[in-house]
Amino acid sequence: MNLFKPMNINKESDKKSENLNSNIEKVKCLIIGSGPAGYTAAIYAARANMAPVMIQGMEPGGQLTTTTEVENFPGYPQGITGPAMMEDLKAQAERFGTDVRWGEATKVDFSNRPFKVVVDDKEQIEADVVIIATGATAKYLGLESEQKFHGSGVSACATCDGFFYKGKEVAVVGGGDSAIEEATYLAGLCKKVYIVVRKDYFRASKAMQNRAFNTPNIEVLFGHTPTEVTGDNVVTGLTMIKNQGKPDEHEVKIKIDGFFLGIGHTPNSQIFKEFLELDEVGYVKTIPGTSKTNVDGVFACGDVQDSIYRQAITAAGSGCMAALDAERFLGSLGAH
Ligand code: NDP
């Protein structure tokens, strides 16, 4: 059922419409997504009496729940696991009254205020302001072995997990700017970094390519397609096919301690695309220096609008901005 479709004017549909309307919940501030950006927005919004309701999304806690140790978030001198940190953020948001709910926002209508959001294809919520914090999802190759070692030898975030591979040998897969950026970061920590590129050339910018070629402990393996991450309890190697589909196709194995994905991220912005301006990759466009989108009253924070920094702390900072922008917006309407 399309919950946003106007209903025909007849007695039967009037009745349905009444029923549907009576089920519509009205809230002041709706936050979609529960990573560091969403929870920080919730903490600020709750403390500002905006009574935020948070729809957690498909992966409560966001990408950090798939990370083991987080050592670069200020305030945790001994480090903390990703899931534990997200539990702390949730508890902090709830302490000030955030209503955190299971469920996924499946449809939105931002054409008029109050904004309409459908949760799990059934419940409809109307909100005076919406804060989007739906994050981005790292792309994986889809290998079974990648899943097996996920979080213990396989990572999609060099800045988060590179430290654990100090002095070791690692591989980064991908031929774009992300892969080279991850590889050069890792090269500062690791003994050796392989960049595994499926084609015979990089897609990355010339400047980034030069960085890769000029870093002595980076070796670029062009024309290599990973087929298996190997090891027993920990990652010990990578199996690849060289020149796949060509007459000289053959298997190549290298020894590595860690395998990093650098094949890009997908911002979780699909359901907003009808209403919000997105960039060519799908990131929500915000007015620089703010969390404002092209729709007044809809704000975006965290990785769904950030293709550059993508850190928990930058996401948290932008979540704070979104709550402050939302509060000011409500104030300007006299609704707060
Ligand atoms: P890109 O889409 O630019 O590159 C993805 C890379 O991953 C390509 O080389 C692609 O190979 C490869 N790839 C994709 N799927 C697979 C697969 N299944 N197996 C093997 N390889 C695969 O993504 P990026 O994240 O690198 O960049 C996204 C955008 O962000 C770009 O515009 C980039 O310029 C920008 N960016 C800029 C940075 C900077 O300037 N510092 C840093 C990071 C990103 P193929 O080429 O064969 O398709």
pLDDT in tens, 263-274: 999 999 999 999
Instruction: Exactly one of 29, 128, 161, 303 is catalytic; name it.
Output: 161
For ligand 1, say whether the CB of 224 is within 6 Å of any of its atoms. no
Of the residues 261, 290, 322, the one at which a domain ends = 261
Q: Are 124 and 209 contained in the same domain?
A: no
Note whether 223 and 243 are within 8 A (CB): yes
The pLDDT, as a whole number, for residue 139 is 93
Which pairs from 292-297 meet CB under 8 Å and 24+ separation?
292/325, 293/132, 295/110, 296/329, 297/113, 297/115, 297/128, 297/129, 297/130, 297/326, 297/329
- Using CA positions, which residue lies closest to atom 43 of ligand 1? 178
The pLDDT, as a whole number, for residue 4 is 55
Of the residues 229, 261, 293, the one at which a domain ends = 261
For ligand 1, say whether the CB of 177 is within 6 Å of any of its atoms. yes
Q: Are 110 and 152 contained in the same domain?
A: no
Instruction: Exactly one of 157, 190, 257, 306 is catalytic; name it.
Output: 157
Q: Are 52 and 87 contained in the same domain?
A: yes
For ligand 1, say whether the CB of 143 is within 6 Å of any of its atoms. no
The predicted model scores a pTM of 0.78
Extract the residue ranges of the chain whose pLDDT is less than 50.
1-2, 5-21
Structural domain tally of the chain?
Answer: 2
Q: Is 303 a catalytic residue?
A: no
- Using CA positions, which residue lies closest to atom 14 of ligand 1? 263
> Would you list the DSSP string of 282-313?
SPBP--TTS-B-SSTTEEE-GGGG-SS---HH
Indicate which atom in ligand 1 lies nearest the CA of residue 142.
Answer: 18
Q: Are 128 and 15 contained in the same domain?
A: yes
> Which residue among 140, 210, 263 has the greatest number of ligand 1 atoms within 8 angstroms of its CB, and so is best to mutate?
263
Q: Does residue 5 lie in a domain region?
A: no
The pLDDT, as a whole number, for residue 10 is 41
For ligand 1, say whether the CB of 89 is within 6 Å of any of its atoms. no
Q: Are 147 and 235 contained in the same domain?
A: yes
Q: Are 61 and 108 contained in the same domain?
A: yes
272 contacts: CB under 8 Å, gap ≥ 6 = 108, 110, 132, 278, 284
Residue numbers of the domain that contains 203:
140-261
Residue type, 133: A
